[in-house]
Copies of this chain bind each other. A is one copy, B any other.
């Protein structure tokens, strides 16, 4: 046991060093490192803000309420992490990509494992609601070669901003979800509905905090991808609608310039005729570039 007096007793000046010295006997070296780094930075923040005792207590109550809001269906601490840019920062640190490779963004809470695999071009919209959309493109390696057989897991909210799992009994099971595979030329294609912006759950303490910060709770319209192929790094990402009213203020900071793809409205009869739709639809064309492991 390192004794406090070897560091001097705890004071405003040496506070983080005294705590770190106390953690010297940790069995898990990585835990010790992380706790000490966090203590160092949080103490520095408290000193910089000159936090009052009343503000400290308000913070304790906020964290307590946030904890009490969490249950099997609601994760208020992940929301807090999301709206403070922490989730996206952790994503960025763990998914550094070489120049030219497609970028990642947050997974989000609505992914479902074991979704049925569908044939190229299938429509994942099972209830016929919303404006039709076709999505297509190619999946390439960083040298521009097509990758065959990439597993493409896609999911999206409906045109009211809800995922199937948020509306069980209202939307059909597996509505707006599907797994596809690229062809020999790396191409993929599926059909769905034009997504719409939606709010993150904002009836809890994190929503109140967003409001006090003058922020809205909306995520711009997007759909989700997980791209997996043998020998390549898995890519978790979104495609965003650049014309969405919230494209420049995603509540969770998920937008990256490279993840926007134009939603073109297709109205020409000959294009409609070959689309499988019976009227105008939105076409989204986007290629992805995966990185070899």
Contacts and interface: CB of A to CB of B under 8 A. Distances in A.
B42 A248 contact: no
Contacts of A34: 49, 51, 55
Contacts of A16: 85
A148 interface: no
A127 interface: no
How many monomers of this protein are in the complex? 2
A266 interface: no
The interface residues of chain A, by DSSP majority, are classed as helix
Report, as a range, how many residues of chain A touch the other chain: 35 or more
B50 A85 contact: no
Residue of A41, A81, A215 with most chain B CB atoms under a 10 A cut-off: A41
A38 B49 contact: yes
Nearest to A236: B53
A86 interface: yes
Contacts of A81: 56, 60
A63 B38 CA distance: 14
A45 interface: yes
B46 A89 contact: yes
Contact of A253 (B10, B48, B255): B10
Contacts of A90: 46, 51-53, 56
Which 8 pairs between the two chains have the least Cβ-Cβ distance?
A67-B67, A25-B214, A41-B45, A3-B248, A19-B85, A41-B41, A12-B92, A10-B253
